[in-house]
A and B are shown apart, each in its own frame.
Chain A
Amino acid sequence: MLKFILKRVGFGVFTLFVIITLTFFIISAAPGDPIASKAELMPEKAQEVIRAKYGLDEPILTRYFLYLKNLITTGDFGESITYTGRTANQYIAKNAPISAKIGIMALLFQVVIGIALGMVAALKRGKVTDHVIRVCVVLAICIPSFVFAALLQYYIGFKWRLVPVQGWGKPSHYVLPVIAFAVGGIASYAKYMRSSVLSVVSEDYIVTAKAKGCMPGRVARKHMFRNSLLPIVTMTGPAIAGIFGGSFILEKMFSIPGLGRYYIKAVSDSDYTMVLGLTAFYAMLYVVSLIVVDITYGLVDPRIRIGKSAK
């Protein structure tokens, strides 16, 4: 198990390195000089000073190694070009927890409700309940999240005035974004859970359990549920990474000061250093959560515990 974890972590670090390198060079290859648009009217001398401040006068490789060195030794993700003095670290510290709050709540709803719905649909296969759940799932998958969010804002927030349309600070501000965030996830968890349960119903161990005289409820809980949960674990990896980055669109729509919103803002401002810093942070989260999921997978499913001798 230890060998497996070490190998996985090593691979993760390498991937992270590839992502940061790729991002760095893609952004550096962008047409236009980030300083030029900002300091067009400044005298030549002043432009040079600014370039030197950001290290843009150095050759690209030197900049790259400097960035890597800063990132590894001090955890410095970089400083904004557009807004002097603001660093990516500040944004991460201040805004990532806000995204995380909404994301964790939404993820909980997604997993719990989605798995429950999928399980019910599979157990009631071919009955009315199954059809109703499937139609809802298809609809929820086909409607883009921002359209759904817009509908929520229009009816619940604007027409019926139950909760604020947008904003941040009060508990009631959580309601709409969490629902909008959760719906798509609920649908896909339900869909995968249904097919996952259906793929285990005809397995030998289920038949054996039934033949032994196991009560249907116990078969569903102990045998079907646990075994069909495995593919679902892999789905949650990227989702866990997503909660810190937040949903880019929804944070913008609901005016939530989360990290995703600032990421989009940095992109539309062409704030290259900020984009690079936030991307590095986001990639780190992503890779870490994939590693965690892989290890969890090994713990949940004894069959794939790599490196452990079979007893």
Chain B
Amino acid sequence: MSDNQNMPITEDLFERVGIQKNRAEDLSKPALTYWADVWRRFRENKLAFLGLIILVLVIVVLYLGPLINGSDYQFINEIDRNQGPSMKHWFGTDTMGRDLFTRICHGGRVSILIGVMCTGVMFVFGSILGSIAGFKGGVVDDVIMRICEIVNNIPYLVLVIILSMVMGRSLFALVFAMSFLSWTGTTRMVRGQILQIKELDYVQASTALGGGTAHIIFKHLIPNTLGIIMVTITMSVPGFIFGEAFLSYIGLGIEAPATSWGALAAAGQERMMFYPHELFFPCLFMVLTILSFHLIGDGLSDALDPKLRK
């Protein structure tokens, strides 16, 4: 820096370029697509980038950890019960002598999978219904919005409990119970977006060129609402991870010997007074993951906000 300042600036360092008529239309900088710009601004946001790094690290640990550690998450060791962290058992063992680290890794896969699957169902249902309502308008819109209102008036948690009580404790049942009524928020949001977008010129142009409803919805409307949807997605994965933890806690979650963070935390909570590590480690992973999703979501919503675009 100081070298540059000390360098004498002389006349011969500069050269007259003149007018180059044939290059006037050239772009001096490579064109930045919308998503490239979003990614650039996302990276500049240190907190959000930290969130992304934490999330990637957690996922890497979940999948590679058990390979390095070499323990089996279902192996019951009657002798090494409730042990603290050691070289052999990195996070100690649980009350049946199973290695806690590998259990956390396997449980984490289940927890994140549930979070992602529920969000996926929510997103697909919500955005399709929302686009139809927003695009078609009239009676269709009215019917869909009334259904949304009714569903919104149903106490969510209670219905999740009843559904999972009736359907059993499989992964599919859990995902179904949790995502069954979750799509109303997405529907409303997408509908609002579509109502704004559909009046824009490019949609009218597509209609004029003979594009059908499905074509316009999938080609134009959904891609253009994707930004806001992505923020909702990152913000709702933690919600579903919490939901699964809650269900595990009241005994409606994943069934043993399979496990999840919620189930591990619930089991750890019972023995918290004597073996705090059994609660601490599952919670640490859960908190880190949820924190990273929140940071990413915050960063995305800033990066996608056209008002903040420089």
A: residues with CB less than 8 A from B are 11-12, 14-15, 18-19, 22-23, 26-27, 29-31, 138-139, 141-144, 146-147, 150, 153-154, 158, 238, 241, 245, 248-249, 252-253, 263-264, 267-268, 270, 275, 279, 282-283, 286-287, 290
Residue contact B265 to A144, C-beta cutoff 8 Å: yes
The reply to whether B283 and A144 contact each other, CB–CB distance below 8 Å, is yes
Query: In the complex, are the beta carbons of B153 and A287 less than 8 A apart?
Result: yes
User: B158's contact among A15, A143, A283, by CB below 8 Å, is which?
Assistant: A283
Tell which of A26, A141, A143, A238 touches B163, judged by Cβ atoms closer than 8 Å.
A26
Shortest beta-carbon distance, A145 to chain B, in Å?
A: 9
Binding site for A on B (CB under 8 A): 149-150, 153-155, 157-159, 161-163, 165-166, 168, 238, 242, 245-246, 249-252, 265-266, 269, 272-273, 276, 279, 283, 286-287, 290-291, 294-295
Known: A15-B150, A26-B166, A27-B162. A146 touches B272 (CB 8 A): no
For B283, the chain A residues whose CB sits under 8 A away are 143-144, 147
Our pick among A14, A142, A253, A267 for the contact of B294 (Cβ within 8 Å) is A142
User: Can you give 25 contacting A-B residue pairs, CB < 8 Å?
Assistant: A11-B149, A19-B153, A19-B155, A23-B159, A23-B162, A26-B162, A30-B165, A141-B294, A142-B238, A142-B291, A144-B245, A146-B265, A150-B272, A249-B249, A253-B269, A267-B250, A268-B251, A275-B165, A279-B158, A279-B162, A282-B155, A282-B158, A286-B155, A287-B153, A290-B153
A153 lies within 8 A of B272 (CB) = yes
Q: Chain A at the B interface: mostly helix, strand, loop or mixed?
A: helix
For A249, the closest partner residue in chain B by CB is B249
Chain A residues near B245 (CB, 8 Å)? 144, 146
Q: Are B290 and A142 in contact (CB under 8 A)?
A: yes
Residues of B within 8 A of A268 (CB): 250-251
Classify the secondary structure of B's interface with A: helix
In contact, B250 and A147 (Cβ under 8 angstroms): no
Question: Given A287-B153, A290-B153, does the pair A27, B251 have CB atoms closer than 8 Å?
Answer: no
Query: In whole angstroms, how far apart are the Cα atoms of A88 and B66 in the complex?
Result: 48
Bound state CA distance, A113 and B299, in angstroms?
27
Which of A15, A19, A147, A267 contacts B279 (CB under 8 A)? A147
B276 → A minimal CB distance (Å): 7
List chain A residues, Cβ under 8 A from B294.
138, 141-142
Q: Is the CB of A142 within 8 A of B155?
A: no
Determine the residue in chain A with the shortest Cβ distance to B146: A11
Distance in angstroms from B145 CB to nearest chain A CB is 12
- Residues of B within 8 Å of A287, CB to CB, are 153
Q: Using Cβ atoms and an 8 Å threshold, which residues of chain B touch A30?
A: 165-166
Q: Are B276 and A154 in contact (CB under 8 A)?
A: yes
Report the minimum CB–CB distance from A80 to chain B (whole Å).
16
* Bound-state Cα–Cα, A264 to B162, Å: 10
Contact A267 B165 (CB under 8 A): yes
Bound CA span A144–B291, Å: 11
Chain A residues positioned under 8 Å from B279 (CB to CB): 147, 150
- Nearest-neighbour CB distance to chain A for B138, whole angstroms, equals 20
Q: Once the chains bind, are A241 and B150 in contact (CB under 8 Å)?
A: no
Q: Which residues of B contact A147 (CB under 8 A)?
A: 265, 269, 279, 283, 286-287
